[in-house]
């Protein structure tokens, strides 16, 4: 691997980003939950465990064993209604495993960090209408901030304790970010409707009121409010980026606004929609580069240091997410079609990195891609060779999720309301 990828502090060059031909690996066996110890989040001494067995006719079942404070054991079985053969057996095992895990999480159980397992944290969270599965991680303070319908949840990465802040009617959480001082920010929409179990949500009638919210303790402060109307031109960008120096990119009536740390609006950038998705923008962590969508196959990249603005192009469409690196390289994730991921270097053509996964992210140094698979795994892919180097378990996912990688850990949130932390380097959160 080039030194520029191995050392995040070193400036990256376009030549550091090779073209990748992803090698698809065979289906992995379903993760065995036998090594996980479930404990009550309220501190009571009740524990639970899960093991996977087979019935006489070959159908898999999950056996859930709970032990109360007196050590008395109780077993409950989660069965599959159909019999399978061949590779479908692993999918059936995954189904009963995830049903058992979800039942325990709903009953107040969690998996706390342990030295004995790669999977360090499993927490259940409420998920209302699908609004992007938003979350952000603050490893310095040992917590994650999770956007649920009408609430922002703080998850302690050590104790798994969850505390909540009501968002005062800003129910539809789109994005969550944390500034360097630890204050969480939320991009949300004002939506009076109640949460529901539907996998589809009709567009709001008329205009949509967006807000960027700063959350200080239990106080929720709208900092920016923008009304969006159907077919408005230019469209409003759904963006929530906060750099380490305090520079911010938020929605603006004419696209997105770049705000200085003290809150002064410095510049407005126009955007364009991409197929099936709203216009979006993102900034690199240092606050130098801002990328914006300019329609299918088109990006604009602004260098805030020099003021230079350049265009990037590629075969991508339906852009859902942008990730910007310190050298101006942009990773582009499609939210529809083949759901591919492309990398746009500063001085070369866009290259497809992966396809047919439900979500993607890259490591902070860009050397590893993480692809969330519908089969209940997350593949780590070497950005130099395209080889799948590791395969991590994903518990409680039906069809979609979101993934974020730090240097220490992999964080995932699923559409069935499970939040997970998987260690990458063996170190606990601070």
Q: What is the pLDDT of residue 30?
A: 62
How many other C-beta atoms are found inside a 10 Å radius of the C-beta of residue 240? 26
Quote the percentage of the chain above a pLDDT of 90: 59
The pLDDT tens digits for 60-70 are 899 999 999 88
Residue 87 — very low, low, confident or very high, per pLDDT cuts 50/70/90? low
Q: How far apart are the first and last CA of the chain?
A: 29
Residue ranges of the domains in the chain? 37-110
CA angle 285, 323, 5 (to 5 degrees): 75
Q: What is the pLDDT of residue 346?
A: 86
pLDDT, average across residues 148-152:
90
Q: Using the predicted structure, report yes or no on whether residue 375 has a pLDDT greater than 80.
A: no
Write the secondary structure of 64-87 as one string of H (helix), E (strand) and C (coil).
EEEECCCCCEEEEEEECCCCCCCC
28-37, 134-143, 378-387: range with lowest mean pLDDT: 28-37
Q: Using the predicted structure, report yes or no on whether residue 427 has a pLDDT greater than 70.
A: no
The residue behind tokens 């492309």 is 342
Q: What is the overall mean pLDDT for the chain? A: 85
- Buried b vs exposed e over 408-425: b needs ≥16 C-beta within 10 Å? bbbbbbbbbbbbbbbbbe
Residue 188, phi then psi, degrees to nearest 5? -140, 165
Reduced to 3 states, what is the DSSP secondary structure of residue 300?
Answer: strand
CA distance linking residue 257 with residue 268, whole number of Å: 4
In sequence order, the 6+-apart residues with CB closer than 8 A to the CB of 194 are: none
DSSP assignment, residue 158?
T
Whole-model pTM?
Answer: 0.88
Q: How far is CA 58 from the centre of its chain?
A: 36
- What pairs with residue 121 in β-bridges? 421
188-192, 324-328, 355-359: range with lowest mean pLDDT: 188-192
Q: Is the dihedral of CA 202, 205, 208, 209 positive or negative?
A: negative
The pLDDT tens digits for 219-262 are 999 999 999 877 777 889 989 999 999 999 999 999 999 999 99
Q: What is the pLDDT of residue 330?
A: 97
The pair of structure tokens assigned to 162 is 């969850």
How many other C-beta atoms are found inside a 10 Å radius of the C-beta of residue 352? 19
Residue 341 — very low, low, confident or very high, per pLDDT cuts 50/70/90? very high
pLDDT, average across residues 71-95:
84
pLDDT, average across residues 370-377:
88
Q: Using the predicted structure, report yes or no on whether residue 33 has a pLDDT greater than 80.
A: yes
pLDDT, average across residues 1-28:
36
Reduced to 3 states, what is the DSSP secondary structure of residue 49?
Answer: strand
Residue 326 — very low, low, confident or very high, per pLDDT cuts 50/70/90? very high
User: What is the β-pairing status of strands 60-67 and 73-79?
Assistant: antiparallel
Q: What is the pLDDT of residue 193?
A: 66
């Amino acid at each position: 691997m080039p030194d520029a990828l191995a050392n995040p502090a070193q400036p990256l060059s376009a030549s550091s980003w090779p073209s990748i031909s992803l090698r698809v690996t065979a289906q992995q066996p379903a993760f065995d939950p036998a090594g996980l110890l479930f404990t009550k989040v309220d501190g009571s001494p009740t524990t639970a465990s899960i093991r996977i067995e087979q019935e006489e006719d070959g159908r898999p079942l999950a056996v859930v064993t709970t032990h109360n404070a007196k050590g008395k054991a109780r077993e409950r079985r989660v069965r599959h209604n159909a019999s399978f053969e061949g590779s479908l057996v692993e999918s059936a095992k995954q189904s009963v495993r995830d049903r058992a895990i979800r039942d325990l999480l709903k009953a107040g159980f969690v998996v706390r960090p342990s030295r004995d397992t790669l999977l360090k944290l499993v927490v259940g969270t409420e998920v209302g209408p699908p609004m992007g599965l938003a979350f952000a991680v603050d490893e310095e303070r040992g917590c994650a901030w999770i956007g649920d319908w009408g609430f922002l949840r703080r998850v302690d990465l050590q104790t798994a304790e969850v505390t909540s802040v009501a968002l005062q009617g800003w129910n539809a959480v789109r994005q969550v970010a944390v500034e360097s001082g630890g204050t969480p920010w939320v991009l949300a929409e004002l939506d009076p409707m109640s949460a529901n179990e539907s996998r589809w949500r009709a567009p709001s009638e008329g205009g949509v009121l967006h807000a960027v919210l700063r959350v200080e303790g239990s106080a929720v402060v709208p900092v920016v409010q923008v009304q969006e109307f159907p077919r408005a031109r230019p469209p409003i960008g759904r963006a929530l980026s906060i750099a380490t120096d305090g520079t911010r990119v938020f929605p603006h009536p004419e696209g997105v606004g770049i705000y200085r740390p003290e809150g002064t609006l410095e510049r407005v950038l126009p955007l364009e929609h991409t197929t099936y998705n709203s216009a979006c923008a993102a900034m690199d962590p240092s606050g130098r580069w801002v990328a914006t969508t300019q329609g299918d196959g088109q990006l604009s990249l602004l260098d805030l240091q020099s003021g230079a603005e350049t265009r990037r192009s590629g075969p991508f469409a339906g852009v859902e997410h942008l990730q910007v690196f310190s050298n101006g390289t942009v990773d582009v994730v499609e939210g529809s079609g083949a759901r591919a991921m492309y990398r746009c270097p500063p001085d070369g053509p866009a290259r497809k990195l992966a396809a047919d996964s439900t979500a993607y992210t890259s490591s902070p140094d860009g050397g590893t891609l993480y692809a969330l698979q519908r089969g209940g795994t997350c593949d780590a892919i070497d950005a130099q060779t395209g080889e799948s180097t590791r395969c991590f378990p994903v518990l409680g996912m039906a069809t979609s999720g979101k993934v974020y990688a730090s240097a220490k850990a992999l964080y995932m949130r699923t559409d069935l309301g499970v939040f997970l932390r998987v260690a990458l380097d063996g170190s606990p959160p601070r």
